[in-house]
Each structure stands twice: as C-alpha cells, then as structure tokens.
Amino acid sequence: MSVLDAFDCSNRIAVVTGASRGIGRAIALSLAEAGADVVPAARSEDALETVVGEIEQRGGETLLQPTDVTDETGVRALFDRVEEDLGHVDILVNNAGINPEDALGKPEAIEMAGYDRTLDVNLRGAFLCTKVAGEHELASVVNVASVGGVVGLPRQHPYVASKHGLVGLTKSMAIDWAPTTRVNAIAPGYVATELTEEAMENESLRESLLSRTPLERFAEPEEIAAPVVFLSSDAAAYVTGACLNVDGGWCSR
Ligand SMILES: NC(=O)c1ccc[n+]([C@@H]2O[C@H](COP(=O)([O-])OP(=O)(O)OC[C@H]3O[C@@H](n4cnc5c(N)ncnc54)[C@H](OP(=O)(O)O)[C@@H]3O)[C@@H](O)[C@H]2O)c1
C-alpha cells in the first residue's frame, strides 16, 4: 500500500457532529473528498441540507438527520438510522461545540446556566455520541478539543474545563477500546467562524490573539479538517490516545 492509499477513506462511513457550518462542515467535506460516506449532524435543518448537497457533489452517500448531541433519544435515532440506511459507522468526529456569552468572564461573573450548557454540549454530548456509536465497534474517533484543552485561557473557564475533559476522555477511551478503536483529539488554535465572530470583531483582542500565535495568522477550517482526515485514516494506524495541536504554534509558548 502506498502512503497516499493510507489516507484513503473509501468504503468508510463517517458521522461528524456540529457539521452544519464552520470547522465541522470543512471536516465533513474533507472526509467526503477522501472517499468516505459522511453524515453531518447538527440541529439546523436548512444548513445541514446544504452540507448534505455538498457531500453528494463530492460523490459520497449521506443522509439528513438533524440531531442535538445533548438529546440521548435523538443521538440513538441518528446512529440507528445511519446503520440502517448506509451501514456500519467506522468514523466518528465529535466536533459540536459552543462557548456562549453567559459562560465567558471572570469566574465570579459566570452564570451556572452557561457553565452547564457548555459542559453539556462540549463534553457530555461528545461522550454520549461516542458511547452510543461505540456500541457497534468503531474504527476511529476524533474529538475536536481546542488549545483550551491543553492550556488555560482567560475568561473561558467552562469552555476550558469542557475541552480539558474531552482530552481526558480521549486518553481513557483510547485505553479501553484498544486495539480495535483508535481515539484521538485535535487541539485547534483560532479559526474565524461563528464561534469566534465576536473575538475577531474586537480589534485589540484580535491583534493580541495574532501576536500570541507563532504562525501570525488564524487557521482556515480546511487546515483543521486535513489533520482530522489523517487521524481518521489508516495513515494514523499507530496513533491512539493522542492530542494533536493544530494551533499555529500557540501551545509551544
Ligand atoms: N473556531 C475556533 O477558533 C475553534 C478553536 C478551537 C476549537 N474549536 C472547536 O471546533 C468545534 C467547531 O467550532 P466552530 O468554530 O466551527 O463553531 P461554529 O461555527 O459555531 O459551529 C458549531 C457547530 O456545532 C453545532 N452545534 C452546537 N450545539 C449543538 C448541539 N447541541 N447539537 C448538535 N450540534 C450542535 C452547530 O450547529 P447547530 O447550531 O446547527 O446545531 C455548528 O454546526 C467546536 O467544538 C469548537 O470548540 C473552534
């Protein structure tokens, strides 16, 4: 097998959560370009419908099943339908994530509702999807963490707690599910998406984030997606329990 063949995801079925836009959409389309049949999962039906069309244009099979990762009945319905209509799920990418306004600020300013919602989507949601999908042996799980899963970030305590938790789950699940299922995480740096819109619009914050990034620019969603394809493919056959920083050097400081 040539090295390029190892990146080929043909004949694999993938589910990507939080794929209605942003990084998740780029991951779903990149996996489809690598040959996988990809099911994008998120709540917004209209946006998902567009992504489903884009996957079909790339030649992959797919289906439309709006899903909230915090809802166990909905998550079970998603994986049951994928198994029934497309076949066995090989690849799971837990990408759905939030960082809401009421979860930002100094600890004393944070609303517990914001804290709970952040943990619910970013950590519990990822665990729930992995647990349900993992009832039928997966080949690969990739958890989309953050530099906030590796180092602290000011004013983002619930988000940082959720992403450190996700990196922890990655390691413990990698041990339990070896040697059949590989479980890895990526830790992206800053990408201009809806999630970071407010930070990007704040000129002084934007400049301070850029000056903290050795590569001196933000990432494109596709630059996060390519390492996810790598980790999901046989090119990463000996990689499990890892957290790959895709952060322009942020965590090297
Ligand atoms: N952007 C960055 O700089 C950055 C950096 C590091 C890590 N990340 C991580 O990368 C991931 C994607 O972020 P992004 O920047 O692409 O954000 P985004 O543009 O806001 O997209 C978030 C995605 O998550 C989905 N989502 C939110 N709540 C959900 C729920 N309860 N159930 C299912 N789907 C849900 C959203 O879809 P619906 O609203 O349609 O449900 C959307 O598709 C997140 O985990 C984030 O923490 C981002």
Task: Give the pocket of ligand 1 (CB within 6 Å).
Answer: 17-24, 42-44, 47, 68-70, 95-98, 121, 125, 144, 146, 188, 190-191, 193-196
CA atoms within 13 A of residue 235's CA, in its CB half-sphere: 17
Q: What does the pLDDT read at residue 1?
A: 77
Residue range 126-132: mean pLDDT, rounded: 98
Please name the residue whose Cα sits nearest to atom 47 of ligand 1: 97
Share of the chain above pLDDT 90, in %: 99
- pLDDT band of residue 231 (cuts 50, 70, 90) is very high
Pocket test for ligand 1, best of 16, 21, 44, 218 (most atoms within 8 A of CB): 21
Give distance in angstroms: CA of 207 to centre of ligand 1.
23
How far apart are the C-alpha atoms of 211 and 75, rounded to whole Å? 40
Map out the domains of the chain as residue ranges.
Answer: 3-191+222-241
Whole-model pTM: value is 0.98
Residue 64 has pLDDT above 80, yes or no: yes
Mean pLDDT for all residues in the chain: 97
Per-residue pLDDT tens for 167-222?
999 999 999 999 999 999 999 999 999 999 998 999 999 999 999 999 999 999 99
Q: List active site positions.
A: 159
How far apart are the C-alpha atoms of 40 and 51, rounded to whole Å? 7
* CATH fold of the domain at 3-191+222-241: Rossmann fold (3.40.50)
